């Protein structure tokens, strides 16, 4: 039987000791789970290790941890797959939530609090039917993906927006919000969406980083659900928000349709004052002036040093811009939901300028569910 070493992050907030790593050697068959390894250690070697689990079958969501830096379920990962060449496996608590002890995080103060924030129950109107509600099968299929959530917190653990803004409602709770916004039995779709759009930590706070999509063991794809909430808010209910989230999104869509490359100055201006008329509107002068610190930060970091980045409208187009337009037309004609992601821009800036551009790449089109 091969030998493994579990390197576990230990921490007891009630002691005066800072967090530390503790290594444990153990023998286990490679197909056994990391949870099996932790249980074995606790039963045979060190009864003080704090961790949570229940079903051992990837159903209850209680064994969420980070293995080798990635959030996942301990019961759903085999030691043989997780060990590096020396047989070592690193296990630590999930991120973005306070540690109660060792591998146990305080889900009440973050995950469950945010879940409650989205009113996670149906709000029907009128008297209930005499028998059951009859719901079209396609509506149920539409929300099946969100229903699959097992509340493990893996997406919350790695959400980059939440790391910067702990008030962000977050991927799990917003995916849950879609579960009700997509359900025809619920009568508060508009109110729910308006509320999530008005909240500065709501649907427009997500930065499309994909971390929640990668982290989710049940393919809920929370980011896709957030995009669907946005689309519904804008297209079906024509909802506007005081945080310029909608105009920011529309500025992105328009600029990419026209150029295929990120004209950041134009996106910034159009987010606050779309079109010439809005730019001349006195009420938008102050919001536009407020974008200046962002621009200065962009210049300082090297992100916006070149002229095409600074002057709205002069940013270059993709060579085959017509291909992008064709994608837009196709999506519109077929009613398809498409997410466009710009994966890199080549030949802009140099290493000296500190840009993050690494290679000349075409925009990548990812079809969302």
User: In the complex, which residues of this chain contact ligand SF4 (CB under 6 A)?
Assistant: 149-155, 159-161, 171-172, 175, 206-212, 215-216, 218, 220, 222-223, 226
Residues 25-64 that bind ligand FES (CB under 6 A): 53-56, 58-63
Between residues 155 and 239, which has the closer beta carbon with respect to ligand SF4? 155
- Give the nearest distance from C-beta 72 to ligand FES in angstroms: 10
Q: Does 73 bind ligand FES (CB under 6 A)?
A: yes
By a kind-dependent CB cut-off of 5 to 8 A, residue 60 interacts, out of ligand SF4, ligand FES, none, with: ligand FES
By a kind-dependent CB cut-off of 5 to 8 A, residue 153 interacts, out of ligand FES, ligand SF4, none, with: ligand SF4
- Give the nearest distance from C-beta 286 to ligand SF4 in angstroms: 28
- Give the nearest distance from C-beta 214 to ligand SF4 in angstroms: 9
Q: Does 111 bind ligand FES (CB under 6 A)?
A: no
Give the number of other Cβ atoms within 10 Å of residue 244's Cβ: 18
Between residues 90 and 157, which has the closer beta carbon with respect to ligand SF4? 157
By a kind-dependent CB cut-off of 5 to 8 A, residue 216 interacts, out of ligand FES, ligand SF4, none, with: ligand SF4
Under 8 Å between Cβ of 161 and 116: no
- Give the nearest distance from C-beta 67 to ligand FES in angstroms: 12
d(C-alpha 49, C-alpha 62), whole Å: 16
The residue whose two tokens read 């490679």 is 30
| Count, residues near ligand FES per rule CB under 6 A | 12
- Give the nearest distance from C-beta 3 to ligand FES in angstroms: 24
∠ CA(268), CA(272), CA(274), 5° rounding? 90
Q: What is the DSSP letter of 365?
A: E
- Give the nearest distance from C-beta 176 to ligand FES in angstroms: 18
- The length of the chain in residues reads 369
By a kind-dependent CB cut-off of 5 to 8 A, residue 147 interacts, out of ligand SF4, ligand FES, none, with: none
The residue whose two tokens read 């591998």 is 103
Under 8 Å between Cβ of 253 and 210: no
d(C-alpha 337, C-alpha 367), whole Å: 7
Between residues 6 and 174, which has the closer beta carbon with respect to ligand SF4? 174
Name the nearest CA neighbour of 253 among 270, 241, 238, 229.
270
The CA–CA distances, whole Å, from 162 to 86, 170, 225, 359 equal 34, 6, 17, 29
Report helix angle 321-334 to 245-259, nearest 10: 130
Between residues 152 and 177, which has the closer beta carbon with respect to ligand SF4? 152
d(C-alpha 359, C-alpha 369), whole Å: 28
By a kind-dependent CB cut-off of 5 to 8 A, residue 73 interacts, out of ligand SF4, ligand FES, none, with: ligand FES
d(C-alpha 156, C-alpha 9), whole Å: 19
Residues β-bridged to residue 364: 341
Between residues 75 and 156, which has the closer beta carbon with respect to ligand FES? 75
By a kind-dependent CB cut-off of 5 to 8 A, residue 215 interacts, out of ligand FES, ligand SF4, none, with: ligand SF4
Between residues 54 and 207, which has the closer beta carbon with respect to ligand FES? 54
- Give the nearest distance from C-beta 75 to ligand FES in angstroms: 3
Name the nearest CA neighbour of 264 among 246, 252, 277.
252
- Give the nearest distance from C-beta 245 to ligand SF4 in angstroms: 13
By a kind-dependent CB cut-off of 5 to 8 A, residue 233 interacts, out of ligand FES, ligand SF4, none, with: none
- SS3 assignment, position 66: strand
Task: Return phi, psi of residue 85, to 5°.
Answer: -60, -30
By a kind-dependent CB cut-off of 5 to 8 A, residue 196 interacts, out of ligand FES, ligand SF4, none, with: none
Name the nearest CA neighbour of 113 among 167, 177, 180.
167
The residue whose two tokens read 């932790």 is 38
d(C-alpha 13, C-alpha 18), whole Å: 8
Q: Does 75 bind ligand FES (CB under 6 A)?
A: yes
Contacts with ligand FES by CB under 6 A lie at 53-56, 58-63, 73, 75
């Amino acid at each position: 039987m091969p030998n493994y070493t579990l390197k576990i992050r230990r921490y007891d907030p009630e002691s005066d000791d800072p967090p530390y790593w503790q290594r444990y050697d153990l023998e286990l068959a490679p197909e056994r789970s990391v949870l099996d390894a932790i249980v074995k250690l606790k039963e045979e070697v060190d009864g003080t290790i704090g961790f949570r689990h229940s079903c051992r079958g990837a159903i209850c969501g209680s064994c969420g941890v980070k293995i080798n830096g990635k959030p996942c379920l301990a019961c759903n990962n085999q030691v043989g797959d997780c060990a590096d060449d020396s047989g070592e496996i690193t296990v630590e608590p999930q991120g973005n939530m306070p540690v109660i002890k060792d591998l146990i995080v305080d889900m009440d103060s973050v995950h469950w609090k945010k879940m409650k924030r989205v009113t996670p129950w149906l709000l029907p109107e009128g008297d209930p039917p005499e028998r059951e509600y009859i719901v079209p099968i396609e509506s149920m299929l539409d929300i099946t993906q969100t229903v699959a959530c097992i509340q493990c917190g893996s997406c919350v653990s790695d959400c980059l927006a939440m790391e910067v803004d702990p008030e962000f409602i977050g991927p799990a709770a917003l995916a849950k919000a879609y579960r009700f916004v997509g359900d025809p039995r619920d009568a508060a779709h508009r109110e729910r969406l308006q509320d999530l759009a008005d909240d500065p930590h709501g649907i427009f706070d997500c930065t499309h980083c994909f971390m929640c999509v990668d982290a989710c063991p049940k393919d809920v794809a929370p980011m896709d659900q957030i995009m669907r909430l946005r689309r519904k808010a804008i297209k079906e209910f024509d909802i506007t928000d005081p945080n310029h989230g909608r105009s920011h999104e529309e500025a992105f869509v328009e600029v990419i349709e026209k150029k295929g490359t990120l004209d950041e100055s134009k996106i910034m201006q159009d987010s606050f004052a779309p079109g010439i008329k809005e730019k001349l509107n006195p009420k938008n002068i102050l919001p536009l002036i407020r974008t200046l610190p962002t621009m200065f930060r962009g210049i300082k970091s090297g992100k916006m040093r070149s002229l095409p980045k600074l002057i709205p409208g002069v940013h270059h187009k993709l060579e085959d811009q017509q291909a992008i337009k064709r994608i837009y037309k196709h999506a519109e004609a077929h009613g398809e939901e498409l997410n466009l992601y710009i994966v890199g821009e080549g030949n802009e800036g140099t290493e000296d300028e500190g840009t993050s551009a690494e290679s000349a790449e075409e925009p990548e089109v990812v079809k969302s569910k």
